[in-house]
Amino acid sequence: MPHSYPALSAEQKKELSDIALRIVAPGKGILAADESVGSMAKRLSQIGVENTEENRRLYRQVLFSADDRVKKCIGGVIFFHETLYQKDDNGVLFVRTIQDKGIVVGIKVDKGVVPLAGTDGETTTQGLDGLSERCAQYKKDGADFAKWRCVLKISERTPSALAVLENANVLARYASICQQNGIVPIVEPEILPDGDHDLKRCQYVTEKVLAAVYKALSDHHVYLEGTLLKPNMVTPGHACPIKYSPEEIAMATVTALRRTVPPAVPGVTFLSGGQSEEEASLNLNAINQCPLPRPWALTFSYGRALQASALNTWRGQRDNAGAATEEFIKRAEVNGLAAQGKYEGSGEDGGAAAQSLYIANHAY
Amino acid sequence: MAYQFPALTSEQKKELSEIAQCIVASGKGILAADESVGTMGSRLQRIKVENTEENRRQFREILFTVDDSISQSIGGVILFHETLYQKDSQGRLFRDILKEKGIVVGIKLDQGGAPLAGTNKETTIQGLDGLSERCARYKKDGANFGKWRAVLKIDNQCPSHLAIQENANTLARYASICQQNGLVPIVEPEVIADGDHDMEHCQYVTEKVLAAVYKALNDHHVYLEGTLLKPNMVTAGHASTKKYTPEQVAMATVTALYRTVPAAVPGICFLSGGMSEEDATLNLNAINLCPLPKPWKLSFSYGRALQASALAAWSGKAANKKATQEAFMKRALANCQAAKGQYVHTGSSGAASTQSLFTACYTY
């Protein structure tokens, strides 16, 4: 077994590790603002706004014009390709505005799911072709991290061994290519909450999936200290009749991670997957109060759970932009506290905050 | 993917987890006194003592009847089959003596190496046949943990993919069977120090081996919280011309571990693999002072590195009992301190303690 082909030099490793640590610095998490054009269509139609490039630009401007208060709770923002090249009303690139706040810029690089023939509706994710060249360009254009989402689902016979293996492999290839181009890969093996399975089942599946992911990352010589993990929390399926407390979710989640995620990984940034804004914050908080030893940062990479109230307040009206931005800052600060186990709950269930954001079989 | 076939009940998990934690609590480590008859032969030959059952019994008696304070440094003792049923000169069973001292009794379970055809003289380990029945019997007879040593070597084309897969798989089968019978499995994937490779190469190989081991343990549904790991430290090969400090060994070792060993594993008890007594202690101490995240206990499971001075002091003579016990106690205490990062090198080690204990291609 040769070792004489190191994938990365010491300088490359240091750069990657420094980027990862900046993103998940204490109290900070990620704003996932990388909704594809198709996903934005769904979001905007819910508030009666037309899905045009200009409206998408205006909406992202609402988020990115947040003031310095977000500096202490947002470590990274994930962009969609289009947004990386958009500018605000003053002609300043969004990338520039975000970087000037000391926030790391990230880019979604996968190209969506495709079916795995011979399975029960399972998928893998495409996007590897020309990925190295794309990463090199994105790095030049200001991105220092990337994100790639794989999707698995729980049912009678899924996830199948093939789905687990194939998605783990494709995640590892993506991660390897990113690192070659100075980009920190966020590895996202999402297990959807669709279904009526209980918490235990989700925990079991999550452990199997994560074990496969980390074996694949090892096989592909990925430098773990220069990666982040974006998993689902361990939760029951949406149609499960049993209710669980945030503490139970926290215990199941942290247990699954402790059994599979090597301590070398600097941070775990949970996806919100349709949880309401408040639920996502309460669960993250409980996770950070869980009594089990946790050697990685445990924080957020939220899309819907950071933006729902903002989107609802904006409703496509420029006049509402300021108030909408405030809603976003509020959720960002709350999650910054939750990432340290210091959030005390809202006390009152805000309209959009508690509303479940679940969309069946969510794909971008 | 079904989970409704849990391998263990909550009670079984609790028992295993408590045994494991008890062994490595508070800086305690393991005395590996499980040398097979053949291996004891090599040991005794060095001090010119005949390899009879009585001589083996006498030496073990001296070690086990040491003062009760030994239980502050030694949490577990691994025995060979013969020794589990031997008694001291008053007719008390060794296993009862150890139990009374609060030391957990363990038993070597593997049955030695077997060649892997088509490889560069690589091996797998035998012992799975009837293992469940043997475990049940040993559990009745007072054992609470088991040990199984797999061997990998660094050489031309080695370790091969097959050797890694096969040894990881047998380790996982062994671990699974142990847990079914209430025994905590110590998982030992030793990458032996034969060769002239440098430390970096050893680190690379150790990471690949450990990644495979933990994937196999996961595949076999082994409960990590109820296991212990017994790995090699990451060192250069014995014939390497490069010299490394304990701090370098520590950094390479902890780096390899934190990239592969999940935090759920309660303890890592290093093998000494031919290091001198003093080096084994100094390296363990440096490991415990290493600034990287270390969510598991980092302790010892030493054979030669705990017994070399004791054997030399004994030389087969009953009159040397006190000196033998003192020599043993001294190393036990030193390693307990090292397991807490508190060892202070006195500089006055005896000849035996600095003498390298390396035996080429060490097998039982």
Query: Structure tokens of A117?
Result: 């023939």
Which member of A15, A166, A188, A277 is catalytic?
Answer: A188
- Of A336, A305, A306, A309, nearest to A320 (Cα)? A309
Asked whether residue A112 carries a pLDDT value surpassing 80, the answer given is: yes
What is the band of A4 on the pLDDT scale with cuts at 50, 70, 90?
low
Q: How much is the pLDDT for A346?
A: 76
CB within 8 Å of B60: residues ≥ 6 apart: B33, B83, B86, B94
What is the band of A297 on the pLDDT scale with cuts at 50, 70, 90?
very high
A342 touches chain B (CB under 8 A): no
Inter-chain CB proximity B263 and A208 less than 8 Å? no
Give A139 to chain B, closest Cα distance, Å.
26
Q: How much is the pLDDT for B118?
A: 87
Phi-psi region of A78 (alpha: psi -120 to 50; beta: other; left: phi over 0): beta
DSSP string, A111-161: --EEE-TTSSS-EEE---TTHHHHHHHHHHTT--EEEEEEEE--SSS-S-H
Give B272 to chain A, closest Cα distance, Å.
24
Candidates B205, B219, B259; nearest CB to A224:
B259
Phi-psi region of B121 (alpha: psi -120 to 50; beta: other; left: phi over 0): left
Q: What is the CATH number of the domain that holds A193?
A: 3.20.20.70
Distance CA A279, CA A295 (A): 24
**Residue A72 DSSP class:** G
Residues of A in contact with B153 (CB under 8 A): none
Q: How much is the pLDDT for B348?
A: 52
- Contact between residue B185 and residue B175 where contact means Cβ atoms under 8 Å apart: yes
Q: How much is the pLDDT for A128?
A: 94
Query: Structure tokens of B344?
Result: 């202070």
Residue A232 falls inside a structural domain: yes
Residue ranges, chain B, pLDDT below 50:
2, 361-364
Q: How much is the pLDDT for A347?
A: 65
Residue A362 falls inside a structural domain: no
**Residue B8 DSSP class:** S
Residue A5 falls inside a structural domain: no
- A117: number of Cβ within 10 Å: 7
Residues of B in contact with A262 (CB under 8 A): 258-262
- pTM of full prediction above 0.90: no
Residues of A in contact with B211 (CB under 8 A): 214-215, 218-219
Asked whether residue A349 carries a pLDDT value surpassing 80, the answer given is: no
Q: How much is the pLDDT for A118?
A: 87
Residues of A in contact with B237 (CB under 8 A): none
Give B214 to chain A, closest Cα distance, Å.
8
- Note which residues in 96-155 of chain B have CB less than 8 A from chain A: 154
Distance of CA B16 to the CA centre of its chain: 18
Residue A287 falls inside a structural domain: yes
Q: Is B18 a catalytic residue?
A: no
B291 touches chain A (CB under 8 A): no
- Contact between residue B80 and residue B34 where contact means Cβ atoms under 8 Å apart: yes
Q: Is B230 a catalytic residue?
A: yes
Q: What does each C-alpha distance from B294 to A77, A175, A307, B26, B336 come to in angstroms?
A: 30, 25, 37, 15, 17
Query: Structure tokens of A9?
Result: 């030099």
Distance CA A304, CA A205 (A): 24
- B231: number of Cβ within 10 Å: 25
Residues of B in contact with A263 (CB under 8 A): 258, 261, 263, 293-295
User: What fold is seen in the domain B10-340?
Assistant: TIM Barrel (3.20.20)
Domain span at A323: 14-339
Return the H-helix or E-strand segment holding B286.
helix B277-289
Candidates A1, A159, A260; nearest CB to B208:
A1
Averaged pLDDT for residues A2-8: 74
Span A51-92, pLDDT tens digits = 999 999 999 999 999 999 999 999 999 999 999 999 999 999
Asked whether residue A195 carries a pLDDT value surpassing 80, the answer given is: yes
CB within 8 Å of A304: residues ≥ 6 apart: A272, A274, A277, A357
Inter-chain CB proximity A215 and B259 less than 8 Å? no
Residues of A in contact with B172 (CB under 8 A): none
Return the H-helix or E-strand segment holding B270.
strand B267-270
- Interface ipTM > 0.90: no
Residues of A in contact with B1 (CB under 8 A): 154, 157-160, 164, 204-205, 208
**Residue B187 DSSP class:** E
Distance of CA A98 to the CA centre of its chain: 18
Which member of A230, A278, A327, A330 is catalytic?
Answer: A230
How many structural domains is chain A composed of?
1
Return the H-helix or E-strand segment holding A351.
helix A351-354
Return the H-helix or E-strand segment holding A305.
helix A304-314
Inter-chain CB proximity A1 and B204 less than 8 Å? yes
Q: What angle do CA A316, A317, A322 make, to 5 degrees?
A: 110
Q: How much is the pLDDT for B361?
A: 43
Distance CA A188, CA A165 (A): 14
Instruction: Give B64-76 as a 3 state SS string.
Output: HCCCHHHHHCEEE
- Contact between residue A241 and residue A197 where contact means Cβ atoms under 8 Å apart: no
Span A310-342, pLDDT tens digits = 999 999 999 999 999 999 999 999 999 999 999
Specify the 3-state DSSP secondary structure of A209.
helix
Q: Scanning every residue of chain B, which has its alpha carbon at the shortest distance from the alpha carbon of A225?
A: B259
Interface probe for B, chosen from A259, A268, A290, A298 (most Cβ of B below 10 Å), is: A259
Query: Structure tokens of A59?
Result: 């909406």
Distance CA B8, CA A72 (A): 44
B168 touches chain A (CB under 8 A): no
Distance CA A305, CA A331 (A): 8
Which member of B35, B122, B188, B278 is catalytic?
Answer: B188
**For chain B, which residues make up each domain, given as ranges?**
10-340
